[in-house]
Amino acid sequence: MEYKDYYKILEVPREADGKGIKKAFRRLARKHHPDANKGNQAAEEKFKEINEAYEVLSDPEKRRMYDRFGSEWSSYQRAGGRPEDFDWGRWTGMSPGGGRVGGVQYGDFDDLQGLFGGGFSDFFQQLFGTGSTNPFDGGRSGYARSRKGQNYEQPVTITLQEAHQGAKRLLQLSGRRLEVKIPQGAATGTRIRIAGAGAAGVRGGAAGDLYLVVEVQPDARFERRGDDLHTEVVVDLYVALLGGEVAVPTLSGRSVMLRIPPETQNGEVFRLRGKGMPHLGNVKQHGDLYAKAQVQLPQHLTEKELQLFAELKDSRGK
């Protein structure tokens, strides 16, 4: 049986923390997702490998067991042992403390109906799910109790505008079309649960869930900091000196007029209350919008204008 190096599959070091593992998973899942690689069988297989590796390394209990097994397996191979002679009995589906590992357990390859039409490798089945003591019998001799199917994570990218107004996505899952709503106020890292859209349950167990993990794209106009937005607004020299109003764009699609007091300095920041992002879960509340004044100097001055500026300079004793 082929040993699966899950750290190599996710391209992370063995000492990687949970945050690093999740970041690597999202990057690779986007790259190899079947929807982005139509008809590419190699990408589909890679995507399954990535999901399998993340299923193990994102679960502290499974990861501890996998690390212990990997160390023993390496020592066994270095000693010249044959895979078929390896003692799988004490490893199959067992946690580091001797109990059954939580999560999905499969007893038959016919049960391996994952989110995109495939299941886990023989290696995963043997280590975490079949209950069989013989890794070469196809996993059919083991007994599996009724269990909920595996949960899946899938990245979904939205714009800042969509995060402000809410968005919808159509997903094609095992022949089903699902319309998923992304709520207003979603931020990078927001998880959206789709109940029952994960892997099929085992022996009559409930299906797992699918979690969409949101990533909000950068916006050219606004910088998001929590629920607050920051932007820059051009103020011409005359308005900055004498006062006036400038239009400030918002994500609602309507500009708001900002009053600029006389003698406004370049870089001065103005706060527009309630014009930021809606709070996730309470869209009646919003963050604020901060507008930074960028004073624009006039160009292509006439001789008369230059003369007036010279007079202003002289009048101020400069």
Encode pLDDT of 263-280 as tens digits.
Answer: 999 999 999 999 999 999
- For 114-135, b/e burial (b = at least 16 CB within 10 A) is bbbebbbbbbbbbbbbbbbebb
pLDDT score of 190: 93
pLDDT in tens, 173-222: 767 788 889 999 999 999 998 888 877 777 777 888 888 999 999 999 99
Q: What CATH superfamily classification does 152-216 receive?
A: Urease metallochaperone UreE, N-terminal domain (2.60.260.20)
> How far is residue 24 CA from its own chain's centroid?
10
Q: Hey, where are the domains in the chain?
A: 6-129, 152-216, 223-315
**CATH level 3 topology of 223-315:** HSP40/DNAj peptide-binding domain (2.60.260)
Please state which CATH number belongs to domain 6-129. 1.10.287.110
pLDDT score of 171: 81
> How far is residue 274 CA from its own chain's centroid?
27
pLDDT score of 98: 41
* Residues 42, 139, 91, 79, Cα dihedral to 10°: -70
Same fold, 152-216 and 223-315: yes
- Please list the ranges in the chain whose pLDDT falls under 50: 92-118, 130-144
Structure tokens at 51: 């999901």
Residue type present at position 114: G
pLDDT score of 136: 33
pLDDT score of 85: 57
Q: Which residues contact 205 (CB under 8 A, 6 or more apart)?
A: 146, 147, 148, 149
Residue 305, burial from CB neighbour count under 10 angstroms (0-12, 13-18, 19+): exposed
Taking the C-alpha atoms of residue 34 and residue 37, their distance in angstroms, rounded to an integer, is: 5
Structure tokens at 156: 């979904």
pLDDT score of 105: 32
DSSP state of 34: G
* Residues 27, 33, 37, 43, Cα dihedral to 10°: 90
